[in-house]
């Protein structure tokens, strides 16, 4: 995995500390379901009422077996509301069999081939002077940064779309999920 760093930010150390350590002592609730760290990414995601679109897309793309594998993976998991923000018909079009490759690319642009809890991402951002570039399984480059106003972890795709991590550090047996509010897309 290649990680490059750019941009300077004034409050990176404070932001990194604000992200805190992963909440491993208690199980996180996502979409009304308890996320159990002994389950893998797919086993947990199928229980989240907020991720039914993502789960359907992962299954349609044939990626469920991969994301059930040993990993480790970091998945930036868009909610149903994130998919709803896409132009009308986008999800239906991506789910058509003739668009399988495009669907796989979109989904794998949300997956980094390592386990990166928010403190590790915060450290990369701090070391990078304000941002860190994360290379995804799908060949996309995501840019992680911290919003100064509230220390939120932000993930920006190659098109400038920025997702906020709403639920960080959802521990999985094969990695970690960060719940995001925007679908990240490969470069157009």
pLDDT tens-digit readout, 89-131: 999 999 999 999 999 999 999 999 999 999 999 999 999 999 9
**Which stretches of the chain score pLDDT less than 50?**
1-25
Residue 185 forms part of a structural domain: no
How many structural domains compose the chain? Answer: 1
**pTM for this structure?**
0.85
List pLDDT tens digits, range 137-148. Answer: 999 999 999 999
Q: How confident is the model at residue 29, as a pLDDT?
A: 84
Whole domain around residue 67: which residue ranges? 3-19+27-180
153 falls within a domain:
yes
Nearest C-alpha neighbor of 163 from the set 119, 120, 110: 110
Start-to-end C-alpha separation, the chain: 23
Does 187 map to a domain? no
176 falls within a domain: yes
**Predicted pLDDT of residue 8:** 32
Alpha helix positions (H), the chain: 12-19, 41-45, 52-60, 64-68, 80-84, 90-94, 100-108, 118-127
Q: Is residue 186 part of a domain?
A: no
CB 184 within 8 A of CB 142: yes
Q: According to the model, what pLDDT value does residue 22 have? A: 44
Q: What is the CATH number of the domain that holds 44?
A: 2.30.180.10
Q: What is the pLDDT of residue 110?
A: 97
Quote the pLDDT of residue 130. Answer: 96
């Amino acid at each position: 995995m290649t990680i490059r760093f750019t941009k300077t930010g004034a409050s990176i150390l404070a932001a990194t500390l604000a992200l805190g350590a992963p909440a491993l002592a208690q199980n996180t609730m996502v979409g009304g379901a308890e996320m159990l760290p002994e389950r893998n990414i797919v086993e947990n995601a199928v229980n989240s009422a907020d991720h039914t679109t993502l789960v359907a897309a992962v299954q349609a793309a044939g990626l469920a077996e991969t994301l059930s594998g040993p990993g480790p993976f970091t998945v930036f998991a868009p909610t149903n509301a994130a998919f709803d923000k896409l132009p009308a018909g986008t999800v239906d079009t991506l789910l058509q069999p003739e668009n399988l490759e495009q669907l796989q690319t979109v989904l794998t642009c949300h997956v980094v081939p390592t386990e990166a809890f928010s403190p590790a991402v915060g450290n990369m951002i701090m070391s990078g002077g304000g941002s860190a570039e994360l290379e995804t399984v799908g060949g996309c480059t995501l840019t992680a940064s911290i919003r100064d106003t509230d220390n939120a972890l932000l993930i920006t795709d190659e098109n400038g779309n920025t997702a906020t991590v709403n639920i960080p550090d959802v521990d999985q047996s094969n990695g970690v999920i960060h719940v995001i509010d925007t679908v990240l897309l490969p470069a157009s």
